[in-house]
Amino acid sequence: MNRFIVAVTAAMLLAAAPAVAGVTEEDLARDAESTGDVLTNGMGRNLQRFSPLTTLNKENVQNLVPAWAFSFGGEKQRGQETQPLIHDGMMYVTASYSRLYAVDLKTGKEVWQYDARLPEGILPCCDVINRGAAIYGDNIYFGTLDARIVALNLKTGDVVWNKKIADYKEGYSYTAAPLIVNGLVITGNSGGEFGIVGEVQARDALTGETVWTRPVIEGHMGTLNGKESTMTGTLNATWPGDLWKTGGGATWLGGSYDIDTNTLVFGAGNPAPWNSHLRNAGAPTEGNVGDNLYAASRLGIDPATGEIKWHFQTTPREGWDYDGVNEVVAFTDKDGNKKFATADRNGFFYVLNREDGKFLNAWPFVKDITWAKGIDENGRPIYNEENRPGDPSKAADGAKGEMVFSSPSFLGGKNWMPMAYSQNTGLFYVPSNEWGMDIWNEPVSYKKGAAYLGSGFTIKPNYEDHIGSLKAIDPVTGEWKWEYKNAAPLWGGVMTTAGGLVFFGTPEGDFVALDDTTGEKLWSFQTGSGIVGQPVTWESEGEQYVSIVSGWGGAVPLWGGEVAKKVNYLNQGGTVWTFKLPKQLAAAN
C-alpha cells in the first residue's frame, strides 16, 4: 500500500468516525505522536510504546527524580499490571480488584475513585489484576473481574453504563484494557483455563449496546446488530466432535489496531483442555485436522463487522499452554515495508505481512526451545514429537501420561508483558524468561465453572544466574543486539523513547532505564515492591515525566512452582510512582 493510499484511507476512516465531544477518533489516531497526553494502552493503538520525546535522554537521565507517589491504599494489593492514561491534567489508573482512580497530575492527589464491588465467586485465573482503561469522548472505559465493561464520566467517576461481557459463574472474567476504534469499544474475554470460548465484542461507546460479536473458535456463530452473521471457520474442520463447544481460545490480552489496513488484531489463547490428545491433536494429521483453529492464533478482524480477514496460528496442535494472545505490533522496517511483529509464548519471534497476516519469518528469542526444532517456510512449527506430553490413555493405569521436560514453560518465553519498538533504532525490546517445566497429561472432563486442564506441571529455571532476560532484537534478521539479565522473572511492560532510553521494572522493585543501543544501565530507582506494571511518559510545561505502577503479583507467585519459591520474599504493594526531569537539570552534567 503506497503512502498516498495510506493517507487517503486514514482520512476516510477519521471522517467516518462519529462526532463526539472530548477525546475524538482523531485524537486516538494521533496518540503515538502527541507528547502531552497518553490516551491509549500501548501509547498508540499500534502498541509500539515509543515516545518521540527527547527532553529526557541518555546524557541527563541520571537527573530523573520522584515528583509524587500515589498509593492505592487499603488491603487490596496483589498484582498491579496496569498502564496509566494521561489526559487534561489528570492521570487515570486502574488497580487490582477492578478499581479505577483519577489523580491530579500536578499534586498526585486523588480526585475520585470507582470500586466495582465484585460479587462472590469470581474465577480469575492469574491474580486479581487489571491492565488498564480507554478514553473516548467524555468517558473512560475499563473491564472488571466479573466479566463486565463499565463506562464512567471522566470528570466525576459516575457510571454512564455497565454491560455484561459474559457469565463469571462459567469461568469468564476480563482483565485487559479495552480498545476504541471509530466509536466502538472493543473487548476480549478471559478465562481460558475454564473451558470458556474466546470472543471479541464491539459496543457503541456512547450507549454500550452491542454492535457485533466474533467467537474465535470454529463452529460458533458471530452476530451483527443483534442478528446471527457468519460462522467462525468451518464446523469440525479442525476440531473433533463437540469439543469446539468448550474450546478455549480466550482473547484475554486485548488487541491492537492498524489504521493503514483498517484491521483489528487480536490473539487467541490456548485450546481447551490442555491435554492435546483429547483434542485429536496428539500426533501428526493430514491437512489441518487437529489444529484446533483459531486457538493459539492471531486474527485480523474487520472493525465494522467483526468478520475475520485473516489468521495466523503460531502453535497448531498446541499442547503446552502456549497461548497466542501476545500483542501484535505494527511497524515499518528500514526499507519502508509495513509489517507486524509478535513474540509468542512458544519462544519464537514472528514477523508477518501487514496486509494479509501472511508469515514472513521467525526466530527464537529464548535460549532453549525443546518442543520444536524450528519454524518451516509456511510458519508452522517443526515439532519434536517426543517432547509432547504423553497420552494418558496409553499409560498402564490410564491416569497419567508420560512426563516430559519442555522449554519454555507454560508461562512462556514471553507472557502478557508488552514489548516495545524504537523508531530510532529499529529494534524491538522484548521482556522474556528463561525457564522450562516438567509437564504431563491427565484425563479430564468438562464441568461448567471448573478448571479444564487435563495436565500437571512444575516450572523450573533453566539457569542459575538469571530467569528474566530483556533482549534487543532486530526484526529484519532476528539478531539479538544485547541482553540484560535479571535474577527474577520479568513480568512488566517496556517503553522506549527518542531520547535513546528503554524503561522497564523488575520484581525486585527496581525501575530501570537502559541505553537503547548498548543495554547499559543508566539509571534506576527502588520502588519498594515488585514491578509488573507498564511505564508511560509525557511532557508538561517543558518538563518530561515518567510513571510506573509498583505492586508485586500476577501469575508467577500463583503458578510459578520452583520459580515462585525463589521470589516469595517479595513484598506486595500498590503505588503509582511519578518522576520528572526538572528544567534546571535538563542539561547534561
Q: Are strands 50-51 and 495-497 parallel, antiparallel or unpaired?
A: parallel
The full DSSP string for 501-551 is: EEEEE-TTSEEEEEETTT--EEEEEE-SS---S--EEEEETTEEEEEEEE-
Compute the distance between CA of residue 377 and CA of residue 181 in angstroms, rounded to an integer. Answer: 34
The full DSSP string for 329-354 is: EEEE-TTS-EEEEEE-TTSEEEEEET
Assigned C-alpha cell, 472 = 534487543
Residue partners of 212: CB distance under 8 A and separation at least 6? 201, 202, 222, 223, 224, 225, 229, 305, 306
Cβ atoms of 254 and 178 within 8 Å: the answer is yes
- 559 phi, psi to nearest 5 deg: -120, 0
Compute the distance between CA of residue 313 and CA of residue 406 in angstroms, rounded to an integer. Answer: 20
- 585 phi, psi to nearest 5 deg: -110, 10
Residue 416 assigned to a binding site: yes
Q: What is the 3-state secondary structure (H, E, C) of 94-126?
A: EECCCEEEEEECCCCCEEEEEECCCCCCCCCCC
Residue 193 assigned to a binding site: yes
* Cα–Cα distance list, 231 to 184, 190, 247, 289 (Å): 22, 21, 15, 18
Residue 130 assigned to a binding site: no
> How many other CB atoms are there within 10 angstroms of residue 374's CB atom?
11
The full DSSP string for 138-157 is: TEEEEEETTTEEEEEETTT-
Residue 520 assigned to a binding site: no
Compute the distance between CA of residue 288 and CA of residue 469 in angstroms, rounded to an integer. Answer: 35
Residue 415 assigned to a binding site: yes
Residue partners of 171: CB distance under 8 A and separation at least 6? 123, 191, 193, 194, 195, 196, 448, 449, 450
Residue partners of 89: CB distance under 8 A and separation at least 6? 104, 105, 106
Assigned C-alpha cell, 78 = 496483589
Q: Are strands 501-505 and 510-515 parallel, antiparallel or unpaired?
A: antiparallel
Residue 270 assigned to a binding site: yes
Cβ atoms of 572 and 77 within 8 Å: the answer is yes
Residue 81 assigned to a binding site: yes
Among 31, 321, 344, 516, the active-site one is 321
Q: Which amino acid is at 505?
A: G
Compute the distance between CA of residue 243 and CA of residue 295 in angstroms, rounded to an integer. Answer: 12
Q: What is the 3-state secondary structure (H, E, C) of 187-250?
A: ECCECHHHCCECEEEEEECCCCCEEEEEECCCCCEEEECCEEEEECCCCCCCCCCCHHHHCECC
Active site residue 321: yes
Assigned C-alpha cell, 461 = 529455571
Residue 242 assigned to a binding site: no
Which residue ranges make up the annotated binding site for pyrroloquinoline quinone?
A: 81, 131, 175, 415-416
Which residue ranges make up the annotated binding site?
A: 81, 131, 175, 193, 270, 321, 415-416
| Residues marked as catalytic | 321
Which residue ranges make up the annotated binding site for Ca(2+)?
A: 193, 270, 321
